[in-house]
Amino acid sequence: MLAGAPALALALAAAHRLAVPMLARRNPELLVATILLIALGAVLCAAVVALLAGRALELPLAALARRPWLGRAITASSAPLWAAAALTAAGGALLLWRRWETARLLPLRPAAAVLLLAVLTLSAAPLARGLLSWARGRRRWWLLLFAALPLVGIWRCGDSPAVIKAATAYSGLGGPIARGLRWALDRDRDGYSPLLGGGDCDDGDARVFPGAQEVSGDGIDQNCLAGDAARRVRPTSCAG
């Protein structure tokens, strides 16, 4: 990993430098095909370089592995993942520093959210393993309780405008998940749900949903907009 990740990054950077002037103002189909071929060539070159560099790194890593305090970290099964994460973070930070004027135009919030989620997941892994080992020795209804906690949170907090905006605007999966939950929780199957901002004010009546044709004077708010049309208080003009 220490040899392969930098080799792949350097190979792709070299391929990028080669492809930009060569592919300017070309046919889109030819452009995509050429980019794929250049990327494949970069990966093959990186594999060869990684094998040679990895061979050179074996001796110093073996020497470090003999030390008690460092050997356990180097020989752990998760060491390649940690090495990949550290190299990715270092490379990303260097890229942001060198190309900040361009990088600031990219949607960085989803990437930051994914990175924060990964950090929280790794830090919570020991606690999760402890809870699972504790739950295995108990009755199964404890596991059902843990599974129901996210659903309770969705039910209690899902109608908040701030939650809806955060889920749909700042997360790539928030919108599809919210639509899927609204579809699953739509009792009258009219295409709208009262949860997660679905807007249905009566989920037991398929004739009532946002955008429905309003019938004046029947006492029912068909379009979920300010009550029945006949009962709405109409403002009087200044002249009247």
Domain ranges of the chain: 1-66, 148-231
Q: Which element (helix H / strand E) includes 226?
A: none
Four-residue CA torsion sign, 24, 27, 32, 36: negative
Cα 201 to Cα 66, 155, 221, distances in angstroms: 68, 15, 8
* Res. 154: pLDDT tops 80: no
User: Which of residues 16 and 137 earns the better pLDDT score?
Assistant: 16
Share of the chain above pLDDT 70, in %: 76
Exposed, middle or buried by CB within 10 Å (0-12, 13-18, 19+), for 89?
Answer: exposed
Place of tokens 């080992």: 133
Q: 48-91: per-residue pLDDT in tens?
A: 888 888 888 888 888 888 887 777 778 888 888 888 888 888 88
3-class DSSP assignment, residue 203:
coil
pLDDT band at 164 (very low <50, low <70, confident <90, very high): low
Residue type, 174: G
200 with 186: CB under 8 angstroms? yes
114 with 122: CB under 8 angstroms? no
165-183 average pLDDT score: 69
28-65 and 68-75 helices cross at what angle (nearest 10)?
150
pLDDT band at 166 (very low <50, low <70, confident <90, very high): low
Q: 181-220: per-residue pLDDT in tens?
A: 778 878 888 888 877 767 777 777 887 877 777 777 666 7
83-107 average pLDDT score: 80
Residues in Cβ contact with 11 at an 8 Å cutoff, skipping those fewer than 6 apart = 42, 43, 45, 46, 49
Residues in Cβ contact with 34 at an 8 Å cutoff, skipping those fewer than 6 apart = 19, 22, 23, 26
164-184 average pLDDT score: 70
pLDDT at 228: 61
Write the DSSP symbol of residue 230: G
pLDDT at 21: 76
Q: For 91, list phi and psi in degrees, rounded to 5.
A: -65, -40
- State both tokens at 14: 């070299």
